[in-house]
Structure 1
């Protein structure tokens, strides 16, 4: 299995009405003086795992820090918005033409059609392939200096939304080496230029004064990667940082009210059960596990009201889902655990997860399971999880992170060919339902098909939705313009300042 390689197949503009809001990267830009603003100090929960490669999980780090961008961006409603491309048109069901804006790379070269075509071609040829292109055969050609033609082997009615993925950010030619690696230091196009990194500890960024969206108000960013949530909150409280992401619920009350922001997101915490190997391969034991879980105890207890009880793969932030939800069918009857030994794992980068796992452990043990709990930092756990070495796994997953399309997470996480299938699920009925949703183009019908596919997934009992989260961000009292993004792609932009 490949780490964090969710399959992003045909994606549509399905506009979930999300609580909270966030500005576009250039939404609060001003063209301040040469010495305007000061550096921002930011504490992030996840360190770079792949040397800031845009083709994996680190792509979101680059996006959240304002380093990288693609041809398009995703707006607050999950629709494609202009970024490096100022406009686009569809020639036929397999061909799109993007017209570029005037922009420059951080190394001083121009963003040309040739440079964009080369960058996207590198992404299409990367091994393993980026999440956004999993299952997609894409070719790119430059047409003059300002137009880029993108062709897909199969119809892709919302290719512009796909190209908003942080995995498909555009870098200058000098970023790419002969072995397919990408060096984002000084080669991206965003308002902040990555100038260096100290392994998994910290990173330095300077303002890119020639950014097409206007000069950022902050002169740079000093980012620290602090896996411990309490330490992140303390760093904000003591004034060591200006912004701290993913503040633990247990620390929220200790923060001054002026420094606490909570944002509804499309992130769902779920219990994933290994349906391919081990004791939970038996659907009756998975049904036993499902029956044992009390999600309300997690929402009110562990999350102290900053979450809703699990209703499905998609939570209340996706407002259209509730009225379209389909009752799962074909579930096995519960069996007897009889002391069945299982290993439950989770990670501590998101501080509530170990406590969630502890409560789940107790609930499963009450149902007759014998449970061994393993907790590690995410980068030390991911490979084993993807290889199916655990019987159960507590995962926090933003279901609409990649493109805003609800089908994408189903294809990625619960199909036989899914690149992030921790549940190891391979069920012909699930694959059939997901494939039907992927083929459906009309937005309302695609929503209906997505919910039918969700019902098939839930019917397997390979996933038990636990809670739908709100994310707490710590923001210094003097800080303005933080981008509170329901999709968790952005955090700082041109208008972020202190």
Structure 2
């Protein structure tokens, strides 16, 4: 398979660069054409922006945030044009709201509307992950939104870039905890309708505050079956396809597929609170039983990277810290593996990512060779997530994005491994880990934050709270007539205003 390079800079909604080649392509675009999109997972929460469904709204360019991120996770203008941190009170941030922005229902964006949208996220139960451990107090002064944190927080701008903090029109929140995104975004595409968990329809929004979309709309189909998604690309039924399974890639014209290194780690979460893995020596036995290289060759056909930690090669600075003496000293504190014989464990995973059931099969074989007795439970993600979060499994295999929310892995680590983390599949709580995560959260970008994050990773791995298996690469499909779709490692962008279909000759 041809591995194509990533674009050096991600397009920012409403702030596009242009070249002569891009302008010529735009002139040849079929502006009446609609992009057909086959997506991996159906909505799990009615497309609520307060859930993971927010990333669908972001990938369709229908809901936008105050802040955008560039390829280096540096904050850039979005619905806020500028921001400052108070020089005498570092807990206070001021965001100037962009003028002349209308929502898809025709109402205007104001600082007060933005405040109310963020307040809905703060008041939600559960809160969006990006707000884990964070207290925000909001107020308005003219056209500025003032955000005050209980403690100094270096990542306030990056937090406000999370798709789960998208700004929707006031009418979207009239249902209380049920937030309706249909017709209430600000992006170049308006969400017109949603057909349950099967399809969604979006049209170009003609009054968009930035450059209008080149395509007239997006027709979305939710296709959890990987073989069906691959077939949709081969037959031309879909213009853009998410996550083509590795096993299907060889049957597709190599010019139609893009291999994208992802900040996504395939991880085995172990239940630290109850069951066999409450014992750290039994957790260590599971760690030692796993052959990562065999998983990569047997399931991913070599198109993945062995996980030496929670963070992979998509974050190149992570490896730089793993050789430090302090990092290695922390790992020396790991428990010694127990001898296991007939220890029964339940292993869960989901079918939405086609490789995971295959990983489960090989992992079961490896664990049973070490003396475990494994019972598998494999379902669609929407039917197994709640049980996983509630700790119903001894072990759970998850494909986990490590910089999904803020562009910074500290938020992911807090969500998954802090005592109060909202996505703590391992049911894990450790004072040393909490202290390391707290220290990482207090550091400013480029001022020691990366080193502190890696110190937290070492503490987590030392406890075998979870076992990182491999770092994934996603295979994205695009038809020959498609251009301008984003190959975004963070899975925030996909169809943008620049995405277009060529005119027929």
Q: TM-score range by the shorter chain?
A: over 0.9
Mapping of residues 166-177 of structure 1, within 5 Å = 166-177=163-174
Mapping of residues 3-402 of structure 1, within 5 Å = 21=8, 22-26=10-14, 27=16, 36-91=31-86, 92-102=89-99, 103-144=101-142, 146-325=143-322, 326-327=327-328, 328-402=331-405
Q: 1:394 to 1:174 in 2, by over 3 A?
A: same
Q: Which residue of 1 aligns with 2:406?
A: 403
Q: Secondary structure at the match of 1:206?
A: strand
Shift of 1:28: 6.3
Q: Which residue of 2 aligns with 1:7?
A: none
Q: Report if the CA contact (8 A) 2:265-2:399 is conserved.
A: yes
Task: Supply the RMSD in Å over aligned alpha carbons.
Answer: 1.8
Q: Report if the CA contact (8 A) 1:94-1:154 is conserved.
A: yes
Shift of 1:140: 1.9
- Distance across 2 between alignment mates of 1:34 and 1:195: 23
Shift of 1:297: 1.2
Shift of 1:64: 0.8
Q: Which deviates the most, 455-464 or 441-450?
A: 441-450
Shift of 1:300: 2.5
Q: Secondary structure at the match of 1:485?
A: coil
Deviation digits for residues 402-455 of structure 1, max 9, x if unmatched? Answer: 112121111110121111110111122222222222223363422111111111
Which of 481, 484, 488 aligns to 2:484? It is: 481
Q: Report if the CA contact (8 A) 2:130-2:159 is conserved.
A: yes
Q: Report if the CA contact (8 A) 2:290-2:363 is conserved.
A: yes
Q: Secondary structure at the match of 1:395?
A: strand
- Distance across 1 between alignment mates of 2:134 and 2:74: 20
- Distance across 2 between alignment mates of 1:316 and 1:303: 17
Q: Report if the CA contact (8 A) 1:192-1:205 is conserved.
A: yes
Compute the TM-score of the two structures, normalised by the length of structure 1: 0.93
Deviation digits for residues 141-190 of structure 1, max 9, x if unmatched? Answer: 2222x322221121112311110000110011111115232111101101
Q: Which deviates the most, 352-361 or 133-142?
A: 133-142
- Distance across 1 between alignment mates of 2:277 and 2:290: 15
Q: 1:383 to 1:421 in 2, by over 3 A?
A: same
Deviation digits for residues 210-230 of structure 1, max 9, x if unmatched? Answer: 111211011011100011111
Q: Report if the CA contact (8 A) 1:20-1:486 is conserved.
A: no
Q: Which residue of 1 aligns with 2:499?
A: 496
Q: 1:28 to 1:242 in 2, by over 3 A?
A: farther
Q: Report if the CA contact (8 A) 1:120-1:168 is conserved.
A: yes
Deviation digits for residues 216-267 of structure 1, max 9, x if unmatched? Answer: 0110111000111111111111111111101101111111111100111100
- Unaligned runs of 5+ residues in structure 1 are 1-17
Q: 1:468 to 1:34 in 2, by over 3 A?
A: closer
